Amino acid sequence: MTEAARSPFQPVDDVVRQAARALRGEARHAALACIDPDTGAPADSRVLVATDTRGIPFCSSRNWRAILRHYCATGRHR
């Protein structure tokens, strides 16, 4: 099986974009998950999500330090 055939991503069209924008505008919470670099155990954190006046999403969490430590340890912060 080729890498393209195994990809979890599907083609994006205008209907998908519209649904994503609606979800982004209505969502109030989300989850960030990662693998703890010290223990190898899964770790997750509930975050608040909103959009600014330009429609750009942002999220807020009391646990940013731990989340960033996990992502930086795996190189996913770039």
Q: Give per-residue pLDDT as tens, 32-59.
A: 877 777 788 887 888 888 888 887 878 7
Alpha helices in the chain (DSSP H): 3-6, 14-26, 64-74
Q: What average pLDDT does range 13-33 have in this prediction?
A: 86
Higher local confidence (pLDDT), 45 or 5: 45
| pLDDT grade for 3, boundaries at 50, 70 and 90 | low
**Segments making up each domain of the chain, as ranges:** 28-78
Q: Bridge partners of 51?
A: 57
User: Do the Cβ atoms of 19 and 38 come closer than 8 Å?
Assistant: no
| pLDDT above 80 for 16 | yes
